[in-house]
Amino acid sequence: MGVGLTRKSGAGGRSTVRDVAARAGVSASTVSRVLGGEYPVSAATRTRVLRAVRELDYVADARARAVAGAGTPTLAFVLEDITGPSFAHMAYGVEREAARLGHLSLVCSTDGDVRRELEFIEMMRAQRAAAVILVGGAADTPEYRERTRRVADSLAAAGSRLVLCGRPPLGPGAPVTVIEYDNEGGAYALVAHVLAQGHRRVLFLGGKPDHTTAMGRQRGYLAAHRARGVEPDPALLLHGDFTRDSGHRLMRQALARGLEFSAVIAATDMVAAGALTALHEAGLAVPGDVSLAGYDDIPFARDLRPALTTVHVPYEELGRLAVRTALGHGGESADEHLLLGTHVVVRDSVAAYGGH
């Protein structure tokens, strides 16, 4: 028999353009024009349509609009952990800037799980996202490069764009925008500052051994030592993750093992916070007995006692920038590679070496 012509009339359910059209006594195209385009419509018709829209509480289906070519573009933001303050600030920047440019933004926390990351990117490709922003370090293995490269190509082929934020670049030729904040440079400056205070044995509470953010900071640590002619003791390089608990645990272990050091560089302010508590629990004064510094300059850094000397990273601006460059040249502009500067913020947690 005939296909079901039954159609829900406006009351209660979601209503369609045709419902509105029927109620206003015009055609669907007219409704669409009143709502959407710059097409000329007489005042009387417009009023009737708008009234029908109001009465039915109609909102055009965004997905359908998208399929038809109109519709709000979307942008995806993938990070490891939205709970981390620095990432959260970036997320804020991304979300604000995306909104400003008329884009919707999707957020995904991957927990560092590569599978989830890939799945999400695939979803975003299906959503025809205008850009996918990946943020946070990763293991820079050949496998990583190949995988990410493939993703980048897929996105590029679909007219989208991959943005790597604080992630290892993929080598030349990959259709990617890379934005890095200077992990090595910041750490270098910070450690140089500590060494200049006379410290010679500086403990480094790092991140995962293959994580590029952590490694960048570690490279800065090493470079600063070498520049000063100090041979860093490999035993002073500890690995954890970027959480507060990790900092707490690592510092406890270091103390228990009887490691000797007069200063501590934490890969993150969060790690520094945990470490500070561990030091305090051990009865050590900061910076009297041990100096301590962090990285990221999260707002809380000022409220630790002593206030934390750290490296400032403009996270919110970073997020905004990522969106802007990603969307600015949606097409095929030169593949950019930006490096954002950082600077040391000196507070009270680093003191001159007392030689105790």
Does residue 154 touch DNA according to CB under 7 A? no
Can you read off the two tokens belonging to residue 157? 């082929």
Quick one: 126 or 334, whose CB is closer to DNA?
126
Owner of token pair 């645990």: 249
Between CA 328 and CA 337, with CA 331 as vertex, the angle to 5 degrees is 60
Contacts 24+ apart (CB under 8 A), 86-89: 86/268, 86/269, 86/296, 86/298, 86/313, 86/315, 87/135, 87/136, 87/315, 89/298, 89/315, 89/316, 89/319
Strand ranges (DSSP E) for the chain?
74-79, 104-109, 131-135, 162-165, 176-181, 202-206, 237-239, 263-266, 291-293, 310-312, 337-340, 343-345
Can you read off the two tokens belonging to residue 49? 């349509």
Find the shortest distance in angstroms from Cβ 66 to a second copy: 4
Which pairing describes strands 337-340 and 310-312: parallel, antiparallel, or unpaired?
unpaired
Q: Site for DNA (CB under 7 A): which residue of 11, 12, 69, 356?
A: 69
Does residue 36 touch DNA according to CB under 7 A? yes
Instruction: Name the segment binding DNA (CB under 7 A); options: 64-72, 116-124, 178-186, 314-322.
Output: 64-72
Q: Which residues bind a second copy (CB under 8 A)?
A: 11-14, 57, 59-67, 71-72, 81-83, 85, 88-89, 91-92, 95-96, 99, 104-109, 116, 122-123, 125-128, 154, 157-159, 244-245, 270, 273-274, 276-277, 280, 299-300, 302-305, 307
Instruction: Report the partner that residue 88 touches, choosing among DNA, a second copy, none (CB closer than 5 to 8 A by kind).
Output: a second copy
Tell me the CA distances in angstroms from 199 to 222, 227, 255, 356, one per residue in order: 14, 14, 18, 11
Does residue 106 touch DNA according to CB under 7 A? no
Find the shortest distance in angstroms from Cβ 355 to a second copy: 25
Does residue 129 touch DNA according to CB under 7 A? no
Does residue 289 touch DNA according to CB under 7 A? no
Can you read off the two tokens belonging to residue 207? 């991140």
Can you read off the two tokens belonging to residue 226? 């070498």
Find the shortest distance in angstroms from Cβ 149 to DNA: 23
**Side-chain half-sphere exposure of 267, counting CA atoms within 13 A:** 29
The residue count for binding DNA (CB under 7 A) is 35
Does residue 153 touch DNA according to CB under 7 A? no
Instruction: Name the segment binding DNA (CB under 7 A); options: 36-44, 100-108, 143-151, 249-257.
Output: 36-44
Distance, CA of 18 to CA of 139 (rounded, Å): 53
Tell me the CA distances in angstroms from 41 to 26, 49, 57, one per residue in order: 11, 10, 21
Quick one: 56 or 301, whose CB is closer to DNA?
56
Instruction: Report the partner that residue 212 touches, choosing among DNA, a second copy, none (CB closer than 5 to 8 A by kind).
Output: none
Quick one: 21 or 323, whose CB is closer to DNA?
21
Does residue 35 touch DNA according to CB under 7 A? yes
Quick one: 16 or 310, whose CB is closer to DNA?
16
Residues of this chain that interact with DNA (CB under 7 A) are: 3-5, 7, 14, 16-18, 21, 25-33, 35-37, 40-42, 44-45, 58, 60-61, 64-65, 67-70
